[in-house]
Chain A
Amino acid sequence: MEEKQFDMGDIDIAWCPGCGNFGILQSLKLALTELALKPEEVVIVSGIGQAAKIPHYIRTHFFNGLHGRALPPATAIKAVNPALTVIAESGDGDMYGEGGNHFIHAIRRNPDITNVVHNNMVYGLTKGQASPTSQLGFRTPVQIKGVFLEPFNPLAMAIVLGAPFVARAFAGDIEQTKDILKKAIAFRGYALVDILQPCVSFNKINTLQWFRDNTVWLDNSHDPEDRDHALNAVMQSEKLSLGVIYCHEGKKTFEDNIGVYAHEKTPLSLRALNREAGLQKIILSKKH
Chain B
Amino acid sequence: MKHNEVSIVLCGAAGQGVKTVEHILVHLLKQSGYHVFATKEYMSRIRGGSNSTTIRVSSERVAAPVDRIDILLPFNEEALWHLQRRISPETVIVGDRTKICKTCPSEAVTFIDVPLAEMAAEVGGKLFINIIAAGVILGLLDIDRGMVSEFIRQFFAQKSNDVIENNITAIEKGCDEGQKLRSSNRIQMALSEPQDMEEMLLNGADAVGLGALAGGCNFLSSYPMSPSTGVMVFLSQHASDFDVVVEQAEDEISAINMALGASYAGARAMVTTSGGGFALMSEGVSLAGMIETPVVIHLAQRPGPATGLPTRTEQSDLELVLYAGHGEFPRIVFAPGSLEEAFLLTQKAFNHASKYQVPVFVLTDQYMMDTFYNVPLFDLSNLRLDTHVVKTDKGYKRFAIAENGISPRGIPGLGEGLVGVDSDEHDEAAHITEDTDVRTVMVDKRLRKLDMLKEDVVSPELFGSEEYDTLLIGWGSTCPIIREAMDSMGKDDLAFLHLKQVYPIPPDTKEFLEKARQTIIIENNATSQFGKLIKLTTGFSIKDRILKYDGLAFTVEELTKRIGEKIG
Chain A residues within CB distance 8 Å of chain B: 14, 39-40, 43, 45, 48, 53, 55-56, 59-66, 69, 71-77, 79-81, 83-84, 101-102, 104-105, 258-260, 264, 267-271, 273, 275-276, 278-284, 286-288
Contacts and interface: CB of A to CB of B under 8 A. Distances in A.
Contacts, number: 193
Interface stretch (B75-83, B170-178, B377-385): B377-385
A278 B242 contact: yes
B275 interface: no
Contacts of B265: 43, 76-77, 80-81, 84, 269
Interface residues of B, number: 68
Given A66-B283, A76-B262, A102-B254, A269 B424 contact: no
Contacts of A284: 377
B189 interface: no
B258 A268 contact: no
A63 B419 CA distance: 8
Interface of B: 27, 31, 198-202, 206, 210, 213-214, 216, 218-219, 221, 238-245, 247, 249-251, 253-255, 257-262, 264-269, 283-284, 287, 291, 377-378, 380, 383, 385, 387, 411-414, 416-424, 430-432
A81 B422 CA distance: 20
Given A63-B291, A73-B257, A284-B377, 6 more contacts: A40-B418, A43-B265, A65-B423, A69-B254, A76-B262, A275-B242
Nearest to A88: B261
Contact of A76 (B202, B261, B378): B261
B259 to A, nearest CB: 7
Contacts of B385: 273, 275
Contacts of B201: 286-287
B380 A75 contact: no
A286 B200 contact: yes
Nearest to B387: A273
19 contacts: A43-B265, A61-B412, A65-B287, A66-B284, A72-B249, A73-B258, A73-B260, A76-B219, A76-B258, A76-B269, A77-B265, A77-B412, A80-B261, A84-B265, A102-B250, A260-B243, A260-B244, A267-B266, A279-B210
A72 B261 contact: yes
B251 to A, nearest CB: 6
A66 B257 contact: yes
A77 B261 contact: yes
A84 B413 contact: yes
B245 A80 contact: yes
Given A65-B287, A73-B257, A270 B216 contact: no
A80 B250 contact: no
Given A48-B423, A76-B259, A267 B254 contact: no
Contacts of B213: 275, 278-279, 282
Given A59-B418, A278-B241, A53 B216 contact: no
Contacts of A43: 265, 412
Q: Which 10 A-B pairs have the closest CB atoms?
A: A73-B261, A269-B266, A76-B261, A286-B200, A105-B250, A76-B262, A72-B257, A80-B265, A61-B412, A76-B258
Nearest to A108: B250
A40 B262 CA distance: 17
A79 B245 contact: yes
B261 A271 contact: no
B556 to A, nearest CB: 25
Contacts of B198: 287
A283 B245 contact: no
Given A73-B261, A102-B250, A268 B413 contact: no
B217 to A, nearest CB: 9
B245 A40 contact: no
A227 B412 CA distance: 36
Given A278-B213, A279-B214, A282-B210, A105 B254 contact: yes
B219 A271 contact: no
A69 B257 contact: yes
B34 to A, nearest CB: 14
A45 B287 CA distance: 14
A61 B512 CA distance: 49
Given A72-B257, A101-B251, A268-B245, A61 B419 contact: yes
B218 A273 contact: yes
Contact of A65 (B27, B260, B411): B260
Contacts of B240: 259
Contact of A268 (B210, B218, B254, B431): B218
Contacts of B261: 45, 63, 65, 72-77, 80
Contacts of A287: 198-201, 377
Nearest to B259: A76
Given A80-B265, A81-B266, A267 B413 contact: yes
Nearest to A39: B418
A288 B31 contact: yes
A47 to B, nearest CB: 9
- Residue from B219, B261, B378, B421 with most neighbouring chain A CB atoms (10 Å): B261
B264 A77 contact: yes
B147 to A, nearest CB: 10
A56 B432 CA distance: 7
A140 to B, nearest CB: 25
A234 to B, nearest CB: 24
A62 B421 contact: yes
A69 B253 CA distance: 8
Contacts of A281: 241
B554 to A, nearest CB: 26
B262 A79 contact: yes
A80 to B, nearest CB: 4
B221 A268 contact: no
B413 A270 contact: yes
Nearest to A261: B243
Contacts of A264: 243
B184 to A, nearest CB: 32
Contacts of A269: 265-267, 411, 413-414
Nearest to B31: A288
Given A66-B284, A280-B380, A81 B412 contact: yes
Contact of A270 (B214, B250, B259, B414): B414
Nearest to A109: B247
Contact of B243 (A65, A101, A271): A271
Contacts of A275: 213-214, 216, 242, 385
Nearest to A42: B412
Given A56-B432, A77-B264, A268 B243 contact: yes
A281 to B, nearest CB: 8
Contact of A80 (B216, B266, B387): B266
Nearest to B284: A66
A75 B199 contact: no
A159 B25 CA distance: 52
Contact of A259 (B216, B239, B417, B419): B239
B432 A63 contact: no
A45 B242 CA distance: 28
A258 B221 CA distance: 12
Nearest to A55: B420
B420 A61 contact: yes
Contacts of B202: 286
Contacts of B247: 76, 79, 258
A70 to B, nearest CB: 9
A63 B264 contact: yes
A73 to B, nearest CB: 3
B389 to A, nearest CB: 9
